[in-house]
Amino acid sequence: MPFPFDRIIIEVRTAAVDPVLSQPIDSITREWIMCGIVAYCGHGSAVSALTDGLARLEYRGYDSTGVALNPGNGREVKFVRAAGRLSQLLVALTLDEECNFRIGIGHTRWATHGAPSTTNAHPHRDCTGKVAVVHNGTIDNAVMLRTELMADGHIVATEVDTELIAHLIEDNLSEARAHEVIEGPDLLVAAVAAATRRLQGSWALAVTAQGFDCVVVTRYRSPLLVGESEKAHTAASDVLGFELDVETIRELNDGDIVSLSSRAVWVDAHGRQIPARAPLLGPGPVAAATLDGAPDFTSKEMAEQPSAARHVIDTLGGRLEHGRLLDDLGLPLCCRVRLVACGSSFYAAQITARVLTRIGGIPTRVVIASECTADVNETDTLTVAFSQSGETADVLSAMDAWPRPWLAVTNNPQSTLARRADGVLGLGCGPELGVAATKSFTAQVVAGSALAIAMSAAHDRISGAELARLQAQLAAVPDRLAATDEQVAPIAAELAAELAHQPGWIFMSRGAGMPYASEGALKLKELAYRWVEATPAGELKHGPIALVQDQTPVVVVQAQPAARLAVNVAEVAARGARIITVGGGEDANLPVVAADEEPPWGPLEAVIALQHLALGVTRHLGHDVDRPRNLAKSVTVE
């Protein structure tokens, strides 16, 4: 049974209430760290389970990695940490550790508080070295806690707020043992619970300690899942962290605490034992994250774009007439639409907005999530949030500020965004492990365009004949993407080798082509670390043309109005620019298989050529395609 990310999910959601603060989750601001947690307690090798899981979670951060290995039976917990990628941690681990440990916790970090170093790498320990903690999130009252703990005699060795949690647990264990209140695994559960009551902020925690043959996990406003199989109980930040034989995955609610040993014992925020939460997934393996012969995940995921687009079309294409899609989503037909997103998703949202306004005349605005406070709420507005991961902190914070109804367009139907939204359009792309968005962007454009067509039909803004024509145009997209990929890949590689060492680039277009030019520019920034200016061609004379000098690469995405765009191309060519045109014209340097008539969503095929150009430049410069510097896939910090 394939992993359910490979399915489109269309569900109706209801508002959630925070179990700890007893207020709607909508009102809580989230600030999460882009890191990955894995925990293991079972009969197999903890080292293998942890390192394999961290490898699959490395897209969440790769500034430093570490594990804490608990041999059980009261023996000393071993800490192994390394700055840099997981490969550095594997060097630090010795071969005999492969079979000595059955319990452990691991972490891969994207640094926010404290430099990316071995000292600041997780897991963190208490003064005794017996308590090990890994943490995703931010502790808002860390300064106060640090002052109090140091005044009490604790030696705080790092800059990281996570270490403070280990010291709090240390104090709680000492106090409980002094009063002989609790024994066994319940003692560690109680110590963790008491520590979290001192915290303000957000956290997903995994804790193990000398003298306890278990791992205790808990969360508050940060994702954490528990997995079960015949041989182990495990925990991870998301499903990719689990071993392939996981049978059931359950999500912790805010405040839940789970003790993982030979069984999983669940306790709520008030310390009362509760039944395990309902499983998110039934029996069946999590999809393996394998390259399948590709040189890297990014190029593999680029090649999957035609099938990703076809999957969305096959699922949504028959639901566009008479408002059926909105009915399936359980959403009202609103007069206005607000789209909110970040990064590549923002450009997909811009394209969706263009389709809504062009064919439906529906008042639509697009908001960068991090600037949401500048937006004005209007009645009868549907808010549509685009997020590949469904965990983007800025998007979630924007949703906190705006009234319902909300629609989530995401590749993760189990995400926080999906759970909080009133309706979900799942992309069904499968895991996207390259940090730079590729197939998820294309799927978002197709899903957003389908949504726009459905809303326009529901408002009676398009005729039956026009609806049929748009459906046919959309259905042709996957084949054009596939043909473009085959045609442009070798050409882009040659062009990239020629231009790789150019330090500054300009990307430009007009109309429906501009979001694709912006997305292509972002890919070159992310992967090749090149300074890139993306500008509407009509704005050249208002500043950007000052950057043009002899042989400056200017990438032009062909779009309508072609005649006006040609004038702008002539302007930069006259100043010595190296022109690279992307489109279906005979003179295109990067030819794509374009539609005879530009569809409302514009030249989507151009993104294939732009991705190949960025990929080629990146490879020529010798950069890591899948793991660009300073970036993480799931941007869960504001």
Task: Considering only CA atoms, give the Rg of the chain.
Answer: 26
Give tens-digit pLDDT for 160-213.
Answer: 999 999 999 999 999 988 877 666 778 999 999 999 999 999 899 999 999 999
- Of 255, 281, 307, the residue that ends a domain is 281
- Of 281, 303, 321, the residue that ends a domain is 281
CA distance 380 to 504: 44
Active site residue 633: yes
Residue 30 has pLDDT above 50, yes or no: no
Question: 480 lies in a domain?
Answer: no
Question: 26 lies in a domain?
Answer: no
Between 132-146, 170-184, 503-517, 609-623, the lowest mean confidence (pLDDT) is in 170-184
Inter-CA distances, 70 with 44, 129, 168, 630, Å? 13, 12, 20, 32
577 and 465 co-located in one domain: no
337 and 463 co-located in one domain: yes
How many CB atoms are closer than 10 A to CB 439?
27
Which domain CATH number covers 162?
3.60.20.10
Which domain CATH number covers 532?
3.40.50.10490
1 and 150 co-located in one domain: no
Question: 342 lies in a domain?
Answer: yes
Question: 25 lies in a domain?
Answer: no
CA distance 448 to 349: 7
450 and 568 co-located in one domain: no
Catalytic hit among 35, 342, 372, 429: 35
- The pLDDT, as a whole number, for residue 168 is 98
Question: 413 lies in a domain?
Answer: yes
CA distance 618 to 632: 17
CA distance 17 to 26: 8
pTM above 0.95, yes or no: no
Give tens-digit pLDDT for 323-353.
Answer: 799 999 999 999 999 999 999 999 999 999 9
Catalytic hit among 130, 523, 525, 633: 633
**Inter-residue contact 232 to 243 (CB < 8 Å):** yes
277 and 408 co-located in one domain: no
Residue 2 has pLDDT above 60, yes or no: no
470 and 605 co-located in one domain: no
CA distance 215 to 619: 42
Question: 597 lies in a domain?
Answer: yes
Per the structure block, which two tokens stand in for 416?
């926080």
- Of 281, 311, 343, the residue that ends a domain is 281
CA distance 601 to 593: 15
* Overall number of domains in the chain: 3
Question: 551 lies in a domain?
Answer: yes
405 and 312 co-located in one domain: yes
554 and 458 co-located in one domain: no
Q: What percent of the chain has pLDDT over 70?
A: 90
Closest Cα to residue 323, out of 313, 314, 332, 315? 332
Domain that holds residue 407: 1-18+291-475
Question: 326 lies in a domain?
Answer: yes
63 and 209 co-located in one domain: yes
436 and 500 co-located in one domain: no
354 and 415 co-located in one domain: yes
499 and 459 co-located in one domain: no
Inter-CA distances, 360 with 318, 460, 466, 513, 602, Å? 19, 8, 11, 19, 16
